[in-house]
Amino acid sequence: MVFDTDSVVRTHFATQSISGGLHVAIIMDGNGRWAEARGLPRSAGHVAGAETVERIVAAAAALPIERLTLFALSADNWNRPAGEIDAILELMRVWLTSKTEECVANHVRLSVIGRRDRLPSPLVAAIEHAECATADQSKLHVRLAVDYSARDAIVRAARRFNVQAALDGARDGFERTLAVTCHANDLPRDVDLLVRTGGEQRLSDFLLWECAYAELFFSPRSWPDFTAADLEAALVEFRGRNRRFGGLSA
């Protein structure tokens, strides 16, 4: 992983007044269609997609992004053939195992949100190792959403919240519970920019709570073809948006 800063981008963002880094979330979609268009098995698309993850993490580290949440496997993806899911889970295990050291060297913290009880134990071990080894890194926090469903996270948090007697203040308390139930170990942080690749324009049960005021960016490009320049273009467009949060323009 090369953490190289493109000078054009650096100059562009250096001129912006950035207070704190952004939370960018990406629905990494289009791997299967990318492979099918090339006469390859869908699993080849996931392999190519894993390479894009590496490129985009490196690009994000050179941009004013503090948190990057990547949708890697949804809870509904269990509806796919077992062979495809097994290949994705194994790819994640290998990716986490092989990238952990580089992440430490580049000050990237890795964590995983979503359910773990349905994941193979070698993958859970790789997740725990990656989280533990990178826990002190603070340049960029990369979160992989694996077996993740936003509705499920909210429902489980609500159930847990209800049975807790100490309901000190509705929203803060609920967000803390949400953090615990989806294994994030961090308070939910609003997404600033949500990117979806692959041409679809939907949320597919990703970060519904955190995307309340996210700016949406849809790219027609498949995830394996998504580049650092595409991410930079999304950020440039984001900077041009007028975020009002229910109020009026400044």
- The residues carrying an active-site annotation are 29, 77
What's the farthest any 2 CA atoms get from each other in the chain? Answer: 57
Among 9, 23, 31, 67, binds ligand IPE (CB under 6 A): 31
Determine the number of helices (DSSP H) and then strands (DSSP E) in the chain.
8, 6
Which residues between 47 and 76 bind ligand IPE (CB under 6 A)? Answer: 71-74
Judged by beta carbon, residue 88 or residue 127, the one nearer ligand IPE is 88
Nearest 5°: the CA angle 93, 99, 105 is: 150
Binding window for ligand IPE (CB under 6 A); candidates: 31-39, 122-130, 131-139, 163-171: 31-39
Strand order of the β-sheet with 193-196 is 108-113, 140-148, 65-74, 22-27, 193-196, 215-218
Site string for ligand IPE, 185-204 (x = CB under 6 A): -------------x-x-x-x
* Closest C-alpha among 29, 38, 47, 69 to residue 220: 29
Stretch that binds Mg ion, among 5-13, 24-32, 106-114, 168-176 (CB under 5 A): 24-32
Q: Which does 88 bind (CB under 5 to 8 A by kind): Mg ion, ligand IPE, none?
A: ligand IPE
- Which of these ranges, 25-33, 118-126, 134-142, 176-184, lies near Mg ion under the rule CB under 5 A? 25-33
Report what 72 binds from ligand IPE, Mg ion, none; CB cut-off 5-8 Å by kind: ligand IPE
Please enumerate in sequence order all residues whose Cβ is within 8 A of that of 2, keeping only pairs 6 or more positions apart, or say none: 58
Separation between Cα atoms, residue 143 and residue 248, nearest integer Å: 33
